[in-house]
Structure 1
């Protein structure tokens, strides 16, 4: 049986709302690589037919269940369908790469097959190639996808035994097999679940009280409507760029803020300038939904996230004051969840998403206020450089999910001393998306000027 939290991503998907997550990795060709290196790599990947169970999962519809999907295994997986080779048109700039990724990210995954694809992309300028992967949100969330990528690469450039994510290398020590829990363990687990459910009542009261008391927790009527909070189409536009982590840390240290606070402040400044340029900045501050991972240990697969609603203080002209307001909003959001179980956090995090469910009703987005203006995620990534059979990974950029009434998504990941921003938007509803990259740099530079 598929968990309800995963099944909902299949139930809510339509042609206008593809619900898969993706990633773009850029590699530098290893020394001595020939002109057909990427083609040879593609042919070599097709020999890895030992597919792990996660990548054999195929969804089966909600028949005989209360609207819940189930997983079945595909024992005849067509690897050539899932692993594809593409080439960029000349001159093979980053612009052409992002345009190709935008098109690939807008197409639905085939539900008659396991819900993932891997595209090798050759012809990128400056002796590089790229890999774009995507998997349905029912199969993986962003955190587990990044962990899977990290496990499948190597920190050693001389390591030529790297296997692809769907066929990972076997550990020298086999992990212990899972056994059925003892009766007392089952009773303890059941008692814990009962405590979680009983505790939801006071937690909901606490949530509503805070929502009324603080704008940063936002009831729906507190969030202004923007150009992002409109109906969307299935076509996507993607923009990406990295910034040195040292710059962000320096600003955070000077302001007494976290790296994530500074990331949010960068986004806030960029969104403010973007909306000012469009003549569409609302008087009230924008509100971001900021996911927090509830994943425990090294588990891969499924979804485990909570949600903090944070003011972006876009009504403030002073960037330092804006950062202070954002840091305080995030502090209150984290304090609110302190002492709660993952189940309680997940249940409360679903409250702001209720308007997204309502948005599936035709015309609802045009008349109902949003619970928040956009999602901004920060997913920790590998701290050391990684290699794929000698090719150094130079960048890893998340490609995420816009929702109906949420036409823009900003996801950030860290990698080897850099913060990599991935901006995914509805192609029709978010014009000149790449301008946000310029505004992100301007926003960071202004914070540096004010605080350093």
Structure 2
């Protein structure tokens, strides 16, 4: 197998018991009308019995032999234990969403076994309201959150009558764009690729200088290490707490239309107001505004959509949490996000990754004792918004009610907020360090209050 790209292997290098490096997804389904008492049991038996359908991507196992000089590579596991990777479990009574989130929190806090392919899938029965759930997790070295959503959507159907649908691990990655006749992959193409890569690398330093000059010139722009200290910027444990809820997409779109903002601007403003309320409640609101790192997908810029690996850049956005007025906070967020996006517009994907690496680099040093305590945070938290399926979907006749993303807190970054869209709603997933982010579920109520406050301010 080939060597692992650095953008993928860094998630293995930085992993420890306190820092699991996998992303996850919680999906809620409504049982079909014709579902019998053994509906989930039959699905489980069919999943564990079909080892032959597992695609090569989900057979990859990491290895680092001495001959590779420490560089990680992938090898193929030809002895998959499907009963290990796929589990059937049940919630304790009364089977509320509260019990589901507690179970999901525990599952998300445990490490994946590096001696096996880095993924797990759980079928969860016993959920009230004639429902069941699935929880899946995959190591970030194998794929990023966008990739996992692409595959998850392709494993579902818009037709409720379709049965015997393949699971995610049986779905092949999306096809790469077809080569033209004059792009044969020969020596000329190799030289051209090397030339383009050399130009990109040469442009990294000017891109850094340009971004710094823009940040110094524009009042609303942000540079790393401008963030204030907060309760989120501490060393974390490996235990997780997860909270999730959905909101009507029409409410968010109404604000977007009234203000001319982007959908992501509205989402960031929701989070800003909620974080302000949450920190005020704890008596821990910094005098200076919180700074969010916002991932930016590079797949469209790269003109390919292969559902594997990592292809994500990042920008820094001023959340304006020091401002009491919701309209002023919203304006601050819009200005900051627009400036950050303009700074990336003329850069190549490689240059964007290089700049993003500078933003994220301090996280690599965070596990060093004393580093988080003695250095200012590069940013306060990560807020990610990932587009999801626009239409209702079904899996073996069961209607998907919601899908909630679970992401990765880091040392110095104890809270991660990830949002995805589905049909007519936005689904918020909040993943935090169990010890250092108290009463995480209260943020859900603050998100509703923040959205209502925005509606009152701009509509």
TM-score by length of 1: 0.96
Q: Tell me how far apart the structure 1 counterparts of residues 172 and 345 of structure 2 sit (CA, whole Å).
A: 38
Give per-residue Cα distances to partners, 1:389-425, cap 9 Å, x unaligned: 1000000000000000000000000000110000000
Q: 77-86 or 355-364: which moved more?
A: 355-364
SS at match of 1:166: helix
Gaps (5+ residues) in structure 1?
A: none
SS at match of 2:280: helix
Q: Which residue of 2 aligns with 1:73?
A: 76
Alpha carbons 2:176, 2:305 under 8 Å: kept: no
**Following TM superposition, where does structure 1 have runs of at least 4 consecutive aligned residues deviating by more than 4 angstroms?**
173-180, 214-217
Alpha carbons 1:87, 1:121 under 8 Å: kept: yes
1:66 Cα shift? 4.7
Give per-residue Cα distances to partners, 1:33-85, cap 9 Å, x unaligned: 11221111111111221210000000002633354210000000101100001
1:320 Cα shift? 1.1
Q: Which residue of 2 aligns with 1:37?
A: 39
Residue 138 of structure 1, aligned match among 138, 141, 151 = 141
Give per-residue Cα distances to partners, 1:218-266, cap 9 Å, x unaligned: 3444210100000000000000000011100101111111110000000
1:168 Cα shift? 2.5
Q: Which residue of 1 aligns with 2:318?
A: 311
Alpha carbons 1:152, 1:169 under 8 Å: kept: no
Residue 369 of structure 1, aligned match among 353, 369, 376 = 376
Residue 9 of structure 1, aligned match among 3, 11, 14 = 11
SS at match of 1:284: coil
Is 1:349 the counterpart of 2:356 in the alignment? yes
Q: Tell me how far apart the structure 2 counterparts of residues 342 and 219 of structure 1 sit (CA, whole Å).
A: 20
Give per-residue Cα distances to partners, 1:249-292, cap 9 Å, x unaligned: 10111111111000000000000000000000001000000000
Q: Which residue of 1 aligns with 2:307?
A: 300
SS at match of 2:100: helix
What are the equivalent positions in structure 2 for 1:22-33 lying under 5 Å apart?
A: 22-33=24-35
TM-score by length of 2: 0.95
Alpha carbons 1:216, 1:309 under 8 Å: kept: no
Is 1:189 the counterpart of 2:160 in the alignment? no
Q: Tell me how far apart the structure 2 counterparts of residues 416 and 207 of structure 1 sit (CA, whole Å).
A: 37
Residue 411 of structure 1, aligned match among 412, 418, 429 = 418
CA RMSD of aligned residues (A): 1.9
1:323 Cα shift? 0.9
Is 1:222 the counterpart of 2:229 in the alignment? no
Q: Which residue of 2 aligns with 1:232?
A: 236
Alpha carbons 1:215, 1:311 under 8 Å: kept: no
Q: Tell me how far apart the structure 1 counterparts of residues 324 and 187 of structure 2 sit (CA, whole Å).
A: 60
